[in-house]
Amino acid sequence: MEAVVPPEITAELTQILSNLVLGDNDIRANAEKAVNDRLARTPELYLLALAQFAIAADTEVMRSFSLVLLRRLLFRSAPLNAQPPGPQRQPIPRLTLYDHLSAQTLTTLERLLLHSLSHEPSQSVRRKSVDTICDVAKQGMARGRPWHALQAQTFTMTQAGLGGGHDGVVPNGAGGQAWLARESAYRVFAGCPNLVMDLQTDAVLQVFQRGLQDGESIEVRHAALIASVAYLTVADPPQLAQSLSLMYPLLETVHYLSQNLASPPLSPPQAHTTSAPGTNTQHLTNFLSDLTPLCTSNPMLFQPHLQPLLSFMPQLILPAVDCGPTPTVSRPFPGPSSSSSGSSSSGNGRQGAFVFPIPGESSSANGHNPDDDDDVGHSGADDNEEDDERAALRLAALEFMVSLSEARPSMVKKVSGWVEVLVRASLEGMGELDEEHEGVVEWLAEDPSAASDSDSNPAMYEQSLDRLACALGGRSVLPPAFQYIPMMLVSYDWRSRHAGLMAIAAIGEGTGKVMQNELAKIVDLVTPMFKDSHPRVRFAACQCVGQLCTDLEEVIQEQYHQQLFPVLISALEDPEPRVHSHAAAALINFCEGVERDTLLPYLDPIVERLLKLLNPGGEHTGNVRRYVQEQAITTLAMVADASEVTFGKHYPTIMPLLLNVLQNAEGKEYSKLRIKAMECAGLIAIAVGREVFRPDSNTLVELLIRIQKSPHDPHDTQLTHYLIATWAKVCQAMGEEFEPYLPVVMPSLLTTASAKADISVYDEDVENMEEKEGWEIIEMEGQTLGIRTSSIDEKCQAFETLVIYCSTLGACFAPYLSQTLEITLPALKFYFHDGVREAAAMLAPMLLSCGKQSGSLTPQMVSAIFHQIINCISTEHDSSFLASLFKCFTDCLLLIGGPSALSPEYQNGIIEATKRQLQQLAERRKARTARVQAQQHNDRGDDMVREEMAMLEEIEDYALDDMGKMLSLFDPNHPLIVAVSSVKDLGFGGGYGSESDGGEDVG
């Protein structure tokens, strides 16, 4: 292709790009500076040079890099002082370099990119070209610049090599590469479906169907599938209605692969790709993964195809039945193992297990040639790779079916066998843990806080079962689940017993209301498992009970505490640290929903065993695991909180231990133990009360001051959080006696509470941003913002602590009244964190009360409070916080003596603000009712929408109730009270949560 930039520019750019790719840090930094400098001076010239380099560079690496860099540079923010060429019209929220290019430059750039798309011989580079082209096309169309040449060329490329006279898009000498052109075309349609949305639907469907049935390349079929999914996702209802026929070839690609997993994939004989062609198993995994989003966006498209899907999907999600050769067949009469393999024998000298190959047996005995060892090694590796591929396929197929079930529960429940096979597949997968002894030993040695198996295959199956239960409800999931679970719990294989217990825990949330009817049987099944011979099964029993206590809170504790407390308490003495630690964790869940009187009979044995875990004494002192101590302290804190003053008799034993930890547990390795001890000491202090705690209060306060003043590890993000929380608990325990310590805690607390949100502005769009740990990415007013969540969470905790201090100390908080009020009123509009606003709404009347009690309240403070609250009510759009604002106003009004004490200005202001909110709520409810009436309620999806809208109306009802209470203070017969009732009547009456039939379809 003819050059579009001078040779010297190309040479200079070649050097810069080489430095960017190959240079060290300093060279790269200089190269980046050079790029920015050139773009600032002559952006059009260098962007065109970059596009030309993407065609002319000798290596695939450089062509790929050029395309990636071009895409990044085109759509990054332009300099603020730059203005796009031409007359200024509607302002664009965020101008990019693309917006500053002239029409001629854009035309040339598009021509270069089209050349790359049609002539690039490398598949990987073509895909980079497609990504860049799709971005340019989407951004151009968003700015009113259609790319007709791209539309025409991609349609032509879909027929490349098919004998239709359209091979001109394939480069000379690239015979056999026509499939690459077809694949690229469909990937363009996938990345920019708007290219075809304005064309005749039949013509588009014909093109997509041809790609889905491509007879030469599985890669073309895959690209056509992605394009079809993208098209169906964005199609409007009339287009969707005309496109139903596309589902047949779309799903046929999946069926074809499922029936040909052992066959080589469709691939042109002369195909040269940068990656291996893969297997049909890998391709089917990719096909299903890319088809799954359509299950969520348009699940009804699959309704006519559910029964055909069920004819072959089970074979994909269930494990293959292949036992392989048995040891007995290979060696009917095993003799004793040789001395070189003593590890394979049991301790009593008998053969412990069959071993392959037979220990001590020469390889030549079976005709094996030692020279073939490499082949055997490769065969083993191939087997492992095949197993991994099969495992990935099972999970992809399961995700496809579960996603469809979540999107339209009522639709899949009508298909006999659908739910049953999903439940069975999930249970099967949950049992596929590592059965080797070494794996169990490694699991026992792990610190559970550091170990994470949430991304393991069994955990993924467990999550699928959980999601299925939440989507379909108890009536659909419990019967098939308990068709297998009782048998699993008595299986000889510990993995099945473990899976059965974890399954009960997984389905508790979604099936809770129905499960309550069978809870006695479930408890009878679970409790014997605490005595299982395998530690992982006993661990799972603790997990099961703990999870059920959360999902069926109060129900299981009230009805079955006599069966469950004893087994949990006995599990605290389990010989394995991971098990007795998890039993302590399960006790926390149990105590959260237990009545104090129910807990008291078990209090002494629980505390006794927790103290043994914390400080075993004797020869076991040196062997105690730190995570066990941390868990024991946490559980003690929860038990103290649940038992309240009754815990006082254990106070003399436990508090000295905690103070000792805070005094002596120094060093990074004890940081978690130290913060757990702080938390526990604070909760116990609250539980036993001021009189019991008073002798130790000064000691604990001095230790907290020492910890607060000591140098902090910058990576220890938890210490400050727990320190603030413990100070708050000490304040609650000490009451007004805490006042002398306010100068110690208030300065840093006020600093944290007054902190601004830590915000960064990014060049990229939200969809192209990756979430960074500790940051939340949002889009606001045309800008992409990153908010550091840790800083606003700390701000929220600071305000919640101020609420505790002010409510506990009352008039004693007066020295800090003015400073606190100064940061509280603006926080009512801190839109980055709802918790901050809610705490500020609670704090405002408390500060008013503090000022009134202490005599430090000024008219200016009262005026500022009411002015800000009325202003917030007038502009608030969040109905849940609107209720908090009206309650805040009402509380403040009562504190100053009622409406008569309020100035006419503020009386008129609150009435006008209330009228405005009533009008907005009425409009929302009318629109919502009209939307519901326009919908058909024949499937679960509409029911879910109704539930969501009913929940919104329930939240609005709270706001209307608080509005009515406020108005009645002005006049019990205030005319706006009638308006409040009228707005309530505008609701469509969805009855959120009222149609749950024993748990059916709840959640």
pLDDT digits (tens, 9 = 90+) for 214-260: 988 999 999 999 999 999 999 988 899 999 999 999 999 999 999 99
Question: In this structure, which amino acid lies at residue 14?
Answer: T
The arithmetic mean of pLDDT across residues 792-807, rounded, is: 94
Q: What is the pTM of this model?
A: 0.81
The length of the chain in residues reads 1003
Q: 910-925, pLDDT tens digit by residue?
A: 999 999 999 999 998 8
The distance from CA 446 to its chain's CA centroid, rounded to whole angstroms, is 25
Which percentage of the chain shows pLDDT scores above 90?
57
Residue 128: per-residue pLDDT: 92
d(CA 436, CA 440): 7
Q: Bigger pLDDT: 32 or 989? A: 32
Q: Which is it for the CA torsion 423, 543, 586, 680, positive or negative?
A: negative
pLDDT band at 814 (very low <50, low <70, confident <90, very high): very high
Would you state the pLDDT for residue 615? Answer: 75
| 766 pLDDT more than 80 | no
Q: Is the pLDDT of residue 426 over 90?
A: yes
Query: What is the predicted pLDDT for the residue at 384?
Result: 79
Edge to edge, the sheet with strand 775-780 lists 759-762, 783-788, 775-780
Asked if 510 and 473 count as a contact pair (C-beta separation under 8 A), the reply is yes
Mark 406-425 as b/e (b = at least 16 C-beta within 10 Å): bbbbbbbbeeeebbbbbbbb
Using only the alpha carbons of the chain, give its radius of gyration.
34
DSSP 8-class letter at 200: -
Q: Is the pLDDT of residue 1001 over 50?
A: no
Average pLDDT in the chain: 84
CA dist list (Å): 118 to 114, 183, 212, 227, 685: 6, 11, 21, 18, 75
- The pLDDT value given to residue 951: 85
Give the bridge partners for 473, in sequence order.
1000
- The DSSP secondary-structure symbol of 788 reads E
Looking at residue 656, its amino acid is P
CA–chain centroid gap for 474, Å, is 24
- Specify whether the CB–CB gap between 961 and 921 falls below 8 A: no
Strand partners of residue 96: 77
For residue 258, CA distances in Å to 282, 283, 468 come to 11, 10, 24
Q: What is the pLDDT, as a whole number, of residue 222? A: 95
The stretches of 92-160 forming alpha helices (DSSP H) are 103-119, 123-142, 148-157
Output the CA torsion sign for 355, 361, 367, 369: positive
For 473-625, where are the alpha helices, taking DSSP H only? Answer: 474-489, 494-515, 519-526, 535-551, 555-571, 577-592, 596-614
Q: Indicate if the pLDDT at residue 356 is higher than 70.
A: no
The tens digit of pLDDT for each residue in 580-602 reads 999 999 999 998 888 888 899 99
In DSSP terms, 25 is beta-bridged to none
- Amino acid letter, 24: D
Look at residue 68 and tell me whether its pLDDT is greater than 70. Answer: yes
Element (H, E) at 144: none
Of 112, 117, 110, give the one whose Cα is nearest residue 141.
Answer: 110
C-alpha distance from residue 746 to each of 434, 741, 799 (Å): 53, 9, 11
The pLDDT value recorded for residue 604 is: 92
Query: How far separated are the first and last CA of the chain, in Å rounded?
Result: 60
Whether residue 273 has pLDDT greater than 70? no
Structure-model confidence comparison of residues 376 and 141, the more confident one: 141
Least confident of 551-560, 608-617, 811-820: 608-617
Q: Which helix (H) or strand (E) holds 7?
A: helix 7-22
Separation of alpha carbons 954 and 666, rounded Å: 51
Rounded-to-integer distance, Cα 200 and Cα 189, Å: 15
The CA angle 273-276-278, to the nearest 5 degrees, is 125
Confidence bin at 174 (pLDDT 50/70/90): very low
Residue 17's H or E segment, with its range, is helix 7-22
Q: What is the mean pLDDT of residues 988-1002?
A: 42
Check whether 644 has a pLDDT greater than 90.
Answer: no
**In this model, does residue 346 exceed pLDDT 50?**
no
Least confident of 333-342, 646-655, 662-671, 976-985: 333-342
- Cα gap 790→772, rounded to integer Å: 12
Two tokens at 666?
Answer: 């120094």
Distance of CA 998 to the CA centre of its chain: 29
Q: What is the pLDDT of residues 922-953, one digit of tens each?
A: 998 888 887 777 665 444 445 566 777 888 88
Q: In the numeric block, which tokens belong to residue 854?
A: 């202490």
Q: What is the pLDDT of residue 35?
A: 81
Least Cα distance to 53 among 85, 96, 21 occurs for 21
d(CA 346, CA 788): 57
pLDDT at 131 over 90: yes
pLDDT of residue 342: 38
Percent of the chain with pLDDT over 70: 83
Q: Which residue has the tokens 């000491």?
A: 681
Report whether pLDDT(298) > 80: yes
pLDDT at residue number 999: 37
pLDDT at 770 (0 to 100)? 57
Out of 380-389, 429-438, 758-767, 890-899, give the one with best mean pLDDT: 890-899
* Alpha-carbon span 189 to 207, nearest angstrom: 11
d(CA 506, CA 331): 42
List, for residues 465-475, the tens digit of each pLDDT value.
Answer: 999 999 999 99
The one-character DSSP state at 213 is T
Q: Say what the pLDDT of residue 271 is.
A: 54
* Cβ contacts of 201-208, under 8 Å, gap ≥ 24: 201/239, 201/242, 201/243, 202/242, 204/231, 205/242, 205/243, 205/245, 205/246, 207/155, 207/158, 208/246, 208/249
Mean pLDDT of 832-848: 94
Closest by CA to 966, choosing from 877, 924, 906, 876, is 906
Could you say which DSSP state residue 351 is in?
B
Q: Closest by alpha carbon to 400, among 503, 286, 506, 481?
A: 286
Dihedrals phi, psi of 897, to nearest 5 degrees: 110, 10
pLDDT tens track for 619-629: 445 567 889 99
Residue with tokens 């304005």: 198
pLDDT of residue 819: 95
DSSP secondary structure, 321-349, as one string = ------HHHH-SS--PPPGGGGGGB-TTS
Where does the pLDDT of residue 715 fall: very low under 50, low under 70, confident under 90, or very high at 90 and above? confident
Averaged pLDDT for residues 881-899: 94
Average pLDDT value for residue range 900-906: 92
Query: Hey, how many other C-beta atoms are within 10 angstroms of the C-beta on 319?
Result: 13
- Report the alpha-carbon angle 821-794-737, nearest 5: 60
pLDDT band at 813 (very low <50, low <70, confident <90, very high): very high
Residue 643 pLDDT exceeds 60:
yes
324 Cβ contact list (under 8 Å, min separation 6): none
- Report the pLDDT value the prediction gives residue 782, as an integer from 0 to 100: 56
Distance CA 508, CA 277 (A): 44
Residue 16 has phi, psi (to 5 degrees) of -60, -45
For the record, the structure tokens of 621 come out as 């002192």
pLDDT in tens, 77-121: 655 444 444 444 444 445 788 888 899 999 999 999 999 998 888
List C-alpha distances in Å: 291 to 9, 227, 566. Answer: 45, 10, 49
User: Residue 30: what pLDDT?
Assistant: 84
Q: Which of 30-34, 518-522, 684-688 has the lowest mean pLDDT?
A: 30-34
Give the per-residue pLDDT at 582.
95
